[in-house]
Structure 1
Amino acid sequence: MQSGSEIIIIGGGVIGLATAIELRLLGAEVTILCKEVNAAAGRAAAGMLAPQAERIPAGAMLDLCLKSRSLYPEWIRKIEAISGVDAGYWQCGILAPYYNASAPGEDWLDARSIQQHQSGLSESVVGGYWYPADGQVDNRALMRSLTIASQTLGIQFQDGVEVTTIHRQNGRVTHLTTNCGEMSAQHYILATGAWSQQLQSIPTVPRKGQMLSVSVPPAPTADLPLQQVLFGEEIYIVPRRDGKIIIGATTEDVGFEACNTLKGVKQLIINAIRLFPPLQACALHETWWGFRPATPDEMPILGTSADANLTLATGHYRNGILLTPITARLIADLVWHQRADNLLAAFSWQRFEPV
Structure 2
Amino acid sequence: MRDRLVVVGAGAVGSAVAWAAAREGLAGEVVLVDPDPGSGASRVAGGMLAPISEAWPGERDVLELGAASLAAWPSFASAVASDAGRPVGLRREGTLQVAVDAADVADLDRVAAHLGDWGRPVERLTGREVRRLEPSLGPSVRAGLAVPDDLAVDNRVLLGALAAAGSAVGVVTSSARVVGVLDDGARVTGVSFASGETLEADRVVVAAGAWSAGLHPALEGRVRPVKGEILRVRARRSSLPPPSRTVRASVSGRPVYAVPRDEGGLVVGATQYEAGFDPDVRVGGVRDLVADVERVLPGIADYALEESAASFRPGTDDNLPLLGPVGPSGLLAATGHGRNGMLLVALTVDALAAVLRGDPFPDVARGAAADRSAAVRG
> Displacement of 1:213 after TM fit?
1.2
* Residue pair 1:190, 1:312 contacting (<8 A) in 2 also: yes
3-state DSSP of counterpart to 1:207:
strand
Provide the residue aligned with 2:191 in structure 1: 176
Percent identical residues: 29
* Residue pair 1:207, 1:294 contacting (<8 A) in 2 also: yes
Give the counterpart of 2:242 among 211, 225, 229.
225
- The two structures, once aligned, show a CA RMSD in angstroms of 1.9
Distance 2:274 2:311 in 1: 12
Distance 1:202 1:20 in 2: 25
Provide the residue aligned with 1:52 in structure 2: 52
Give the counterpart of 1:13 among 11, 15, 32.
11
Task: Return closer, same or farther for 1:74/1:344 CA change in 2, 3 Å cut-off.
Answer: closer
Provide the residue aligned with 2:165 in structure 1: 149
> Displacement of 1:303 after TM fit?
1.5
Task: Return closer, same or farther for 1:12/1:225 CA change in 2, 3 Å cut-off.
Answer: closer
Larger mean CA deviation between 116-125 and 273-282 belongs to 116-125
Letter paired with 1:282: Y
Provide the residue aligned with 2:340 in structure 1: 319
Letter paired with 2:263: D
Provide the residue aligned with 2:278 in structure 1: 257
* Residue pair 2:366, 2:372 contacting (<8 A) in 1 also: no
Distance 2:309 2:208 in 1: 20
Distance 1:243 1:115 in 2: 19
> Displacement of 1:218 after TM fit?
5.1
Runs of 4+ in 1 over 6 A off after TM superposition: none
> Displacement of 1:25 after TM fit?
1.5
Gaps of 5+ in 1: none
Provide the residue aligned with 1:40 in structure 2: 40
Letter paired with 1:23: A
How many residues of Structure 1 are paired with residues of Structure 2 in the alignment? 346
Distance 1:224 1:157 in 2: 40
* Residue pair 1:10, 1:32 contacting (<8 A) in 2 also: yes
Give the counterpart of 1:292 among 302, 308, 313.
313
Task: Say yes or no: does 1:211 pair with 2:230.
Answer: yes
3-state DSSP of counterpart to 1:327:
helix
* Residue pair 1:311, 1:335 contacting (<8 A) in 2 also: no
Distance 2:127 2:180 in 1: 56
TM-score using structure 2 length: 0.87
Give the counterpart of 1:199 among 186, 194, 215.
215
Distance 1:73 1:88 in 2: 11
Distance 1:102 1:63 in 2: 23
* Residue pair 2:32, 2:173 contacting (<8 A) in 1 also: yes
> Displacement of 1:5 after TM fit?
5.2
* Residue pair 2:10, 2:38 contacting (<8 A) in 1 also: no
> Displacement of 1:7 after TM fit?
0.6
Task: Say yes or no: does 1:130 pair with 2:115.
Answer: no
